[in-house]
Structures are given as structure tokens and as C-alpha cells.
Amino acid sequence: MFSDIGIDLGTAKTVIVSGKTLLLSEPSVVLMDQYDEVPVSFGRYAQRALGRSTDRYQAVEPIERGVIANYDAAELMLNQYISRVVGKKLTKPRAVLAIPSGLTAVQHRSFIDAVQAAGIRGVCTVESSIAAALGMGIDFKKPHGSIVVDVGAGTTDVAVLSMGGLSRCETTKIGGVDLDDAIVRYMRREHNHAIGRASARAIKEQIGSAQPRPIEVVMMAKGIDLTTGLPSRVEVTANEVCDAMSDVIRDICRAVQSVVNNTPPELVGDISEDGIYLSGGTALLHGLAETLSGFLGVNVHLAKNVQLNVAKGIGIAMNHFDLLENGDYRFVTIQDLL
């Protein structure tokens, strides 16, 4: 029977682990009854309602850009997910929670407050980049620089690690949702065709690429013809999608470059030798690793199980808390922060 759990509360997905055991992996979505102000469903079923909401039922994504945007919905979702994996226990568990770096004191406190209100007796927050490094098996306790780029749905975390801690870290509010929005804008501008973000996400996942494909791939996009207002289907190619996403891809590359430019030369030398470690759900985009490598002129290593690296790292930290000894990592309650 486990006593502590690890939580990766992401913009797109919430993952809960206990050590090496995956307990839950669900979309971070709540379907709310607006009339009665009560939740109807959570996770995968609620996600299907995105873009299909009615006056009464509204699909809510409580986490935006890595921070809590709807506190009440976040608390309801966490309470549901934690109850699902913990059940009825005499003693409430503690939680190690992954969060983006650079949060304000208010944002940091809101995470701890929401998790504690969902039935956790103590919360230890760990930067997502630290957790991702642990999940990828990177040894950053020695005096040697390593850089981890975690590209999620709402943010891109770039961290240079050395001597067991963060040498340089920056969170940019650019991620997978920006790629989706870019596809929506492109379809409207070039094809006079309106699609929703869910359809754009499907296009990105099926034929999207960060660089032109040598062999063209085609997909039919369902939406609305903006001229007639009627349902229609439009053919879209992979290279069109690549063009649509190019500005966002460039911004992600520049975010990594910005951190490298402000890193001590000795650590940059280590990074040039070892390369960049790429993680996060958006890292699965075809050609992103190669594009980043070409932009920066260094090797880029795509991690295995990129979507679960942060959660895996939290599980490792729970069992080997000494790995976090070079930071202020401790279990606290919201009362400790008041």
C-alpha cells in the first residue's frame, strides 16, 4: 500500500504515479453542468465535449499555460483523480507535484492549495525540468552541464542542470496549443475553412511536421465553408501544415537559444559535447528534434516515453529524495505559506 503519490498536473494531461507504478493518466478536462454548477464527467469523456459544448454543459480545461486558470474546476478534477487512485484511506497521502519554473508566489500557492484541498496532507513541488531530467536518467549531480527541453501543450521549459540543481531555467508560454491555433488560422486564411482546435490537433498529430516531408502526405479536414456556412471537407497537405506551424516552431527554437546564450561558457561547452535532451508530449511532432538540432548546431536526443518522463522523474524523486538535496524541496501545507 503506497503512502505518497506523484502528480504531473499538465495543461493537456494529468498523470499520477506511485514510485514506478502508473496509477492514472487522464486529460485535464472537466465537463461542467452550468445550471447546477456541478461536474458531470472528467478526463477522456469530458475531452470529447471540447468544441461541442451547449448552454448547459461546458467542457473546462482548468490548467492553461502550466498554471491554474480555473481554481474550482482544478480542485474538482484533482479530487476526482486522487480519490480514484487512493480510495478511502485512514491517512491522507503526501504528494510530489511537478510545476513549471518561474511561477509567481501566488501561482505556486494556488497549486499547493488546490492539491491540499483535494485530499493531500503535504505537497512538495519540483520543477518539471528537474523531474524530466530524472525521468530520462540524466546524471546532473556532477559538475557537468546538461540541458533539458520539455515541450508541453502550454509551455516550453528549458533548463540547464549542473551540480544537482538548476544553473539556468526559463519557461516560455509556447507549446502544442499554439501549433493547433496556427493550423486553425492557416485553414481559415488559405482555405476559407473553419475548424476547431480538436480538429487542428488531429491534423497536427496525423500529418504535422516541423520540417518539409520528402514524400507528401494528405488528409481531409472537416469543418465549415466560411463562404456558404455549410459543412465541408478540405484537402490539406503535410507541407501546408508545416508552413502553418513554422513561426511557432521558430519561437520554440529561439526560446532554447535564449537560455543557451545566457549560460556560462563552460556549461555551453558541455552541452555542445553531450547535446540537448528533448522531452514532453509536443516533442513527438515529426521532425522537431531535427529542426532544433539544425537551428542550434548540436545533437538533440529524443527521450523515450516523452509524455511520461516528468511523471517517471517524480516517482524516482519520491524513492530517492536525496537527489533533490540541492534545493528547497520539502513537504509543506498551504498554512506554512501564509
DSSP string, 213-256: -SS--EEEEEEEETTT-SEEEEEEEHHHHHHHHHHHHHHHHHHH
Question: How close are the terminal C-alpha atoms of the chain, in Å?
Answer: 32
Average pLDDT of the chain to the nearest whole number: 90
Residues 91 and 41 in one domain: yes
- DSSP secondary structure of 274-301: H-EEEESGGGGSBTHHHHHHHHHTS-EE
- Any domain includes 117: yes
CB neighbours (10 Å) of residue 164? Answer: 17
At a CB cut-off of 8 Å and minimum separation 6, what does 76 contact? Answer: 30, 39, 42
**Are 100 and 13 in the same domain?**
yes
For residue 230, pLDDT over 90 is answered with yes
**Cβ neighbours for 162, distance < 8 A, ≥ 6 positions apart:** 140, 142, 143, 144, 145, 146, 267, 270
Q: How many CA atoms lie within 13 A of 279 on its CB side?
A: 30
The arithmetic mean of pLDDT across residues 286-299, rounded, is 95
Confidence of residue 70 (pLDDT cuts 50, 70, 90): very high
- Phi, psi at residue 196, to the nearest 5°? -90, 170
* 190-200 as b/e: b if 16+ CB within 10 A: ebebebbeebb
Last residue of a domain, one of 199, 216, 239: 239
Boundary of a domain, candidates 221, 239, 257: 239
Same domain, 125 and 11: yes
Strand 4-9 with 193-194, pairing: unpaired
Strands of the sheet with 218-225, listed across from one edge:
193-194, 218-225, 231-237
Give pLDDT, residue 2: 56
**Structural domain contains residue 135:** no
Instruction: Assess whether 161 and 55 both reside in one domain.
Output: no
pLDDT tens readout for residues 151-188: 999 999 999 998 878 888 888 999 999 999 999 999 99
Which whole number is the average pLDDT over 78-83? 94
CA distance 156 to 171: 6
- Give the pLDDT confidence of 123-147 residue by residue, as tens digits: 999 988 889 999 998 888 888 889 9
> Could you identify the residue written with the cell 505559506?
337
For 265, how many CA atoms within 13 A lie in the half-sphere containing its CB? 0
Same structural domain, 192 and 81: no
Is residue 161 located within the same domain as residue 263?
yes
Residue 136 in domain: no
Residues 18 and 63 in one domain: yes
**Position 61 in a domain:** yes
Instruction: Enumerate the H helices of the chain as residue ranges.
Output: 44-48, 71-86, 105-117, 128-135, 176-191, 197-207, 238-261, 265-274, 288-296, 309-319
Q: Do the strands 300-302 and 13-18 form a parallel or antiparallel pair, or are they unpaired? A: unpaired
Question: Is residue 114 over pLDDT 90?
Answer: yes
Domain that holds residue 293: 141-174+246-307
Whether 327 and 196 map to the same domain: the answer is no
- 108 domain residue, yes or no: yes
In a domain, 228, yes or no: yes
Taking the C-alpha atoms of residue 210 and residue 290, their distance in angstroms, rounded to an integer, is: 8
Shared domain check, 146 and 124: no
Q: What is the pLDDT of residues 302-334, one digit of tens each?
A: 988 888 899 999 988 888 777 776 677 787 776
pLDDT the model gives residue 269: 92
**Shared domain check, 278 and 149:** yes
How far apart (Å, rounded) are the C-alpha atoms in residues 12 and 18?
20
Same domain assignment for residues 303 and 161: yes
Q: Let me know if residue 170 belongs to a domain.
A: yes
Predicted TM-score (pTM) of this structure: 0.90
- Please tell me the total count of domains within the chain: 3
| Rounded mean pLDDT, 234-254 | 96
Residues 315 and 300 in one domain: no
Phi and psi, residue 130, nearest 5°: -65, -45
> What pLDDT score was predicted for residue 1?
45
Check which CATH number belongs to the domain holding 231 and give it.
Answer: 3.90.640.10
Per-residue pLDDT, averaged over 222-231, amounts to: 94
Examine the pLDDT at 202 and tell me if it is beyond 70: yes
Q: How far is CA 238 from CA 125, 157, 210, 242, in A?
A: 39, 27, 10, 6
Partners of 42 in the β-ladder: 30
Domain with residue 124: its CATH number is 3.30.420.40
111 grid coordinates: 497549486
